[in-house]
C-alpha cells in the first residue's frame, strides 16, 4: 500500500511530502492563491506523474528492443478548464526527446504503448476527460 506523509512547513500552504521510502518533495500554492510559491503545486505534480510514468515505460520498452538510449528528456504542457472548480486538465501535450541509437518507429510505438496501454496516470487522466497528445523526436548520439 502506498503511504504519503505531509507536514506543514511554510506559510499556510507549504508542505514537505514524504513517501514510505523517505523520498521528499515540497508542495505549495501559487502566490496568486495565497501561497509562497515554494514548491510544486498539486496539479503540476499530476503532470510530473504523467511524465515519470511514461518515461519508465519508454525506457523499459526500448531497452527490451535493444535500443541504445543516451538521453531522454520530456516536456509536458497542460491546459486546465477555465472558470470551473475543480479545474481539471482539459488537454496535455507531451514531447519525448530521445538521443541515441534509437529507431524512430520503435520510439513512436513505445510512446503509443505507454500512453494508450501501460501508463496508469495517462489512463486516470483520460477517464477524467483529459485529451492527451504526444510527439516523439529522436536525435542521434554525437
**Per-residue pLDDT reduced to its tens digit, 1-42:** 999 999 999 899 999 999 999 999 999 999 999 999 999 999
Q: Same domain for 17 and 49?
A: no
Confidence band (pLDDT; 50, 70, 90) for 142? Answer: confident
Q: Same domain for 21 and 47?
A: no
> What tens digit of pLDDT does each residue of 40-94 get?
999 999 999 999 999 999 999 999 999 999 999 999 999 999 999 999 999 999 9
User: Can you give the CATH number for the domain in which 74 is found?
Assistant: 3.30.300.20
Contact 137, 95 (CB under 8 A): yes
Q: Same domain for 26 and 48?
A: no
Q: Same domain for 64 and 108?
A: yes
Please state, in angstroms and rounded to a whole number, the distance separating the CA atoms of residues 42 and 34.
14
Domain tally for the chain? 2
Q: Same domain for 24 and 47?
A: no
**Domain ranges, residue 87:** 42-139
Q: Same domain for 19 and 61?
A: no
Q: Same domain for 65 and 128?
A: yes
* pLDDT at site 85: 94
Amino acid at each position: 500500500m502506498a503511504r504519503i506523509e505531509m507536514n506543514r512547513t511554510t506559510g499556510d500552504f507549504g508542505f514537505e511530502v514524504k513517501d514510505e521510502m523517505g523520498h521528499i518533495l515540497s508542495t505549495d500554492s501559487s502566490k496568486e492563491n495565497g501561497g509562497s510559491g515554494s514548491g510544486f503545486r498539486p496539479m503540476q505534480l499530476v503532470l510530473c506523474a504523467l511524465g515519470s510514468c511514461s518515461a519508465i515505460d519508454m525506457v523499459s520498452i526500448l531497452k527490451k528492443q535493444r535500443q541504445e538510449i543516451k538521453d531522454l528528456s520530456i516536456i509536458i504542457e497542460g491546459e486546465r478548464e477555465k472558470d470551473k472548480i475543480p479545474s481539471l486538465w482539459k488537454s496535455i501535450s507531451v514531447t519525448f526527446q530521445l538521443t541515441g541509437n534509437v529507431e524512430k518507429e520503435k520510439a513512436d510505438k513505445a510512446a503509443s504503448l505507454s500512453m494508450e496501454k501501460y501508463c496508469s496516470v495517462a489512463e486516470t487522466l483520460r477517464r477524467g476527460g483529459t485529451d492527451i497528445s504526444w510527439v516523439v523526436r529522436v536525435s542521434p548520439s554525437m
